[in-house]
Amino acid sequence: MRAREPDHTGYVERKGVRLFYEIHGSGSQPMLFLPPWSIVHSRVYKAQLPYFSGRFRCITYDGRGNGRSDRPTDAAAYSLDNYVGDALAVMDETNAGPAILVGLSFGGMLACIFAAHHADRVKAAVLVGTSATIGPSYPYMSPSHFLSPKERFDGWDKYNRDYWLANYRDFAEHFVRNIFSEPHSTKQIEDAIGWANETTGAVLAKTVEARMLQPSFDVSEAMYRKIRCPLLVIHGDDDRIQPYGRAKAVAELTGAEFVTIAGGGHNVLSRYPAKANALIADFLDRKLGAAPKRRRSARRGKRVLYLSSPIGLGHGRRDLAISRALRQLHPELEVDWLAQDPVTRRLAANSERIHPLSARLASETRHIELESGEHDLHAFEALRRMDEVLIANFMVFQQAVEADCYDLVIADESWDVDHFWHEHPELKRAKLAWFTDFVGFVPMPEGGEREAFLTSDYNAEMIEHVEQHPNLRDRAIFVGDPEDIIPYRFGADLPEMREWIPRHFDFAGYIIGEHPTSFGPREELRRSLGYRPDERVCIVTVGGSGVGIHLINRILHSYPLVHAKLPELRMIVVTGPRIEPRALAAPAGVELRAFVPDLDRHLAACDLALVQGGLTTCMELTAAGTPFIYFPLKNHFEQNFHVAHRLDRYRAGTRMDFATATPDMIAAAMIATLGAPTRFKPVEAEGAARAARLIADLV
């Protein structure tokens, strides 16, 4: 899922070549993202567009040779004159000028050409991993190396016309892996290889052949000396595509601000997007407008920005419990919530104050729904593919903490904040209390060696972050006890989870929004909720996303079979806020409800529940002693490993496999579970208070 869809798309045709462009945002100041080399297309700027479109009218287009633009077959079509002409045509078509220019790699050289020869069209320019006609170069990128016949193609000998025509895919992978020389770049490499394979070796060969054509304008050292607009140059000192010394030469001749990304490769916009976005925003604020000032609320209390994960409603319930307990310790505390639907519904119902920037958050729930199949959610891959959403939402968060002086950020599984603040500690603007109920990705067996490698790599990066910056989390709290940690390693040659996690986390015990012991006698609770003594109540609930619709439909088919043997059974299906009840074909006797704000009370009062494998709902049922059957989502590592381990420890729930569970089998399991005694281990009731005490001293 894209974090932000374009507001307008179109084509501009120039000399028979159609160029596809997009416009994001409606600000008065245009910001043009120039295309790099045609081995990629405009999606290379996906980490920048959602953020900058909140302030500028961002324009991007696919350079000829890739994406949705045409791929001419004549080498002359890829001349520097034509690339400059394309940019002018897009600017004219979109009424962009004078514009802020952002150019990655070849796009950086285009920005310099514009700043020198079309100065009236440029307000400021940002060059990232820039190419140039001056400064040192790598010998393996020379025309002679590209054209020379070879018998073997090892390493950079793959930068060769003959090899591209014979084995382009292998060259593309080699080239992309050298773009991202930084460790833990698996997702960026995967994206760029995909984009590279949208063009061909024959097309790219034409772009290199065209570099040997003399342009109609000066591109010598004198051109760079002509540049007068504000200029920012960002370059990694491990750039294997465009030498670091080349960028320094450009900066020296132009008087540009020069920022070195230590250890950075060629595309730091993708690999270090939070840092790159912050550098660009700061540069533009200083050069084109006053930087926003941090402000202090007129109220005198301590201020907290609370981030609650939208993946399931359980986080919202426990976070409300923690905030209430924290307010008991600090009555003057002011809490702003940066959250999204469906969590904001619960917050609004509890009269909590929702930060206005919440409206700009990209929907993580929607992304999860789009990633899901029939009771199947490959959670690890879904999180990897959420990278665009996560950086967009982190930048919204960063904007919030930089605009307001918060004393504390409480982040409940806000993976973006934890990742990017660890990656760039200088961006941290407040104390951080970090909550999670699991630590460590686990590969699903079907993923094979690839998934085992990827999960291990992600875990290794997290471990490195924490150990390199052990004090960045002012408090790290595991929602549970040490026994709830699964007995696994983080990966080959990585620590045991049960050995590493206790050294880096405090333990709050399990946190329940409101413990069932506070609901009063069960008979009175049932009566207050409208349940009769002579009926047996079964509740079906699948959480706050739309992933559970297939499970609901399967259970609905089992209801008549159970009702025939237990006519006193009353089934209530809570579809959640994102499943339309009218979309379900419910048999007679089944009640459908879209949203139940006090669902935890109903779960404590019912006789049986059928649920997914989400931790919060399963633990609420465990705490209430309610018999339940749970169906972990296929390929969902957290539900199949972390949650299942915890439920086994509490001796709670009957686990079923959705793939093999027929309506007959579900009906039989329902009847058997209703007739079996429960011997669940008690769930602690003071988790929220314990968590509040752990973070109270931070405010």
Given this model, what pLDDT does residue 313 score?
66
Given this model, what pLDDT does residue 295 score?
56
> Quick check: is 682 in a domain?
no
Q: What does the alpha-carbon distance between residue 637 and residue 618 come to, in Å, rounded to a whole number?
A: 16
Q: Which residues contact 576 (CB under 8 A, 6 or more apart)?
A: 313, 342, 541, 542, 543, 544, 545, 546, 548, 594, 595
CB 394 within 8 A of CB 420: yes
Domain co-membership, 158 together with 121: no
**What's the chain's average pLDDT?**
95
Q: Which residues contact 326 (CB under 8 A, 6 or more apart)?
A: 304, 333, 692, 695, 696, 699
Domain co-membership, 114 together with 145: no
Confidence of residue 300 (pLDDT cuts 50, 70, 90): low
Query: What are 353's two structure tokens?
Result: 């104050």
Q: What does the alpha-carbon distance between residue 166 and residue 53 come to, in Å, rounded to a whole number?
A: 41
Given this model, what pLDDT does residue 298 score?
56
Domain co-membership, 377 together with 447: yes
Percent above pLDDT 90 for the chain: 90
Query: What are 442's two structure tokens?
Result: 């686990």
pLDDT for 327 beyond 60: yes
Strands 590-593 and 569-574: parallel
Query: Looking at 187, 209, 231, which one is the last position of a domain?
Result: 209
> Quick check: is 293 in a domain?
no
Residue type, position 3, single letter: A
Q: Which of 225-239, 294-308, 355-369, 574-588 has the lowest mean pLDDT?
A: 294-308
Domain co-membership, 200 together with 239: no
Q: What does the alpha-carbon distance between residue 511 and residue 616 come to, in Å, rounded to a whole number?
A: 9
Q: What confidence tens digit (pLDDT) does each residue in 487-518 have? A: 999 999 999 999 999 999 999 999 998 899 99
CA dihedral for 635, 641, 646, 652, sign (positive or negative): positive
Given this model, what pLDDT does residue 582 score?
78
For the chain, count helices (H), then strands (E).
Answer: 27, 21
Q: Which of 218-222, 332-336, 345-349, 458-462 has the lowest mean pLDDT?
A: 345-349
Q: What does the alpha-carbon distance between residue 401 and residue 62 come to, in Å, rounded to a whole number?
A: 34
Q: Judge if pTM exceeds 0.85.
A: yes
Domain co-membership, 63 together with 111: yes
Given this model, what pLDDT does residue 539 score?
97
Q: What does the alpha-carbon distance between residue 84 and residue 365 come to, in Å, rounded to a whole number?
A: 41
Domain co-membership, 540 together with 633: yes
> Quick check: is 681 in a domain?
no
Q: What confidence tens digit (pLDDT) does each residue in 85-133 have? A: 999 999 999 999 899 999 999 999 999 999 999 999 999 999 999 999 9
> Quick check: is 266 in a domain?
yes
Query: What are 384's two structure tokens?
Result: 């990897």
Tell me how far the alpha carbon of residue 25 is from its chain's centroid.
21
pLDDT for 257 beyond 80: yes
Query: What are 481's two structure tokens?
Result: 């006890």
Rounded to an integer, the average pLDDT of 625-642 is 97
Given this model, what pLDDT does residue 296 score?
53
Rounded to an integer, the average pLDDT of 132-158 is 95
Q: CA separation (Å) from 352 to 136, 305, 320, 399?
A: 58, 12, 9, 21
Given this model, what pLDDT does residue 301 score?
79
pLDDT for 695 beyond 90: yes
Domain co-membership, 528 together with 419: no
Comparing CA positions, the residue from 433, 374, 440 lying closest to residue 406 is 433
Q: What does the alpha-carbon distance between residue 557 and residue 660 come to, in Å, rounded to a whole number?
A: 15
Alpha carbon dihedral 30, 31, 36, 41, in 10-degree steps, equals: -80
Rounded to an integer, the average pLDDT of 12-30 is 97
> Quick check: is 184 in a domain?
yes
Q: What confidence tens digit (pLDDT) does each residue in 589-624 have? A: 999 988 887 889 999 999 999 999 999 999 999 999
Rounded to an integer, the average pLDDT of 630-635 is 96
Comparing CA positions, the residue from 195, 159, 193, 202 lying closest to residue 72 is 202
Comparing CA positions, the residue from 141, 143, 132 lying closest to residue 246 is 132
Report angle CA 691, 435, 633 to the nearest 5 degrees.
Answer: 120
Q: What does the alpha-carbon distance between residue 42 and residue 145 come to, in Å, rounded to a whole number?
A: 28
> Within 10 A of 551 (CB to CB), how many other CB atoms are there?
21
Domain co-membership, 205 together with 221: no
pLDDT for 657 beyond 80: yes
Q: What domain count does the chain have?
A: 4
> Quick check: is 26 in a domain?
yes
pLDDT for 545 beyond 80: no
CA dihedral for 668, 671, 676, 677, sign (positive or negative): positive
> Quick check: is 684 in a domain?
no
CB 578 within 8 A of CB 654: no
Q: Provide the β-strand partners of residue 373.
A: 376
Comparing CA positions, the residue from 283, 350, 308 lying closest to residue 125 is 283
Q: What confidence tens digit (pLDDT) does each residue in 666-685 have? A: 999 999 999 999 999 999 99
Q: Provide the β-strand partners of residue 125.
A: 101, 231
Domain co-membership, 255 together with 401: no
pLDDT for 245 beyond 90: yes
CB 642 within 8 A of CB 612: no
Domain co-membership, 234 together with 368: no
Domain co-membership, 368 together with 496: yes
Domain co-membership, 281 together with 348: no
Q: Helix or strand or coil: residue 489?
A: strand
Per the structure, the complete domain to which residue 166 belongs is given by 139-209
Rounded to an integer, the average pLDDT of 540-546 is 79
**Is the model more confident about 290 or about 440?**
440
Query: Looking at 182, 209, 236, which one is the last position of a domain?
Result: 209
Q: Helix or strand or coil: residue 577?
A: coil
Residue type, position 624, single letter: A
CB 272 within 8 A of CB 266: no
pLDDT for 303 beyond 70: yes
Which residue's entry shows tokens 């929220």? Answer: 688
Query: What are 323's two structure tokens?
Result: 């905030």
> Quick check: is 683 in a domain?
no
